[in-house]
């Protein structure tokens, strides 16, 4: 049975560590094999040393032996769906193609869907580093 990404992101959200901003974020990513990996934001009193939920999910995926993202869900307690920050957009693009769907949710149920290409047009790639 395919795990629900919104449920996985919401479960992660509940465990986020955000004692300073109180802005919790949960993320879940699915790989082509169907495996789901979760991440949370983790703040640190020494700003900006925290980590984002999407980065945590990517790290869990890599630790789990996977290296390709096929779908992403992100949830936060905000008035509108919160997209991944610029750094996380670049990180997600390292492991997913431009047509990967990113679903962003609020706790109240509002949803916004975009592709990685829409979130990060003109992404920096390894091709830019070639001679």
Give residue 108's domain range: 5-116
Question: CA nearest 42: which of 28, 21, 58, 61?
Answer: 21
Which of 54, 68, 94, 113 is flagged as catalytic?
54
Residue 122, in any domain of the structure: no
According to the model, what pLDDT value does residue 1 have?
A: 56
What's the mean pLDDT in 12-30?
97
Res 110: pLDDT: 97
With respect to residue 81, please indicate whether it lies within any of the assigned structural domains: yes
129: in domain: no
Quote the tokens at residue 88. 């996380």
131 domain residue, yes or no: no
CATH at 36: 3.40.140.10
Q: How is residue 11 written in tokens?
A: 């479960």
pTM of the model: 0.93
- Is 11 an annotated catalytic residue? no
Bond prior to 48 in cis (omega within 30° of 0): yes
Identify whether 47 is part of a domain.
yes
pLDDT for 84-120, tens place per residue?
Answer: 999 999 999 999 999 999 999 999 999 999 999 999 9
Give the model's pLDDT for residue 3.
Answer: 73
Instruction: Give the pLDDT score at 50.
Output: 94
Distance CA 73, CA 6 (A): 6
Number of structural domains (the chain) is 1
Domain for residue 70, yes or no? yes
């Amino acid at each position: 049975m395919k795990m629900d990404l919104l449920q996985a992101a919401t479960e992660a959200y509940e465990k986020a560590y955000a004692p300073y901003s109180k802005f919790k974020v949960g993320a879940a990513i699915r790989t082509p094999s169907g495996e789901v990996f979760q991440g949370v934001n983790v703040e640190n009193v020494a700003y900006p040393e925290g980590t984002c939920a999407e980065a945590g999910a990517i790290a869990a995926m890599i630790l789990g032996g996977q290296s390709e993202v096929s779908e992403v869900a992100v949830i936060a307690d905000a008035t509108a769906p919160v997209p991944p920050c610029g750094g996380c957009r670049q990180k997600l693009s390292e492991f997913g193609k431009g047509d990967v769907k990113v679903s962003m949710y609020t706790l109240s149920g509002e949803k916004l869907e975009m592709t990685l290409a829409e979130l990060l047009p003109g992404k920096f790639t390894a091709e830019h580093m070639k001679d």
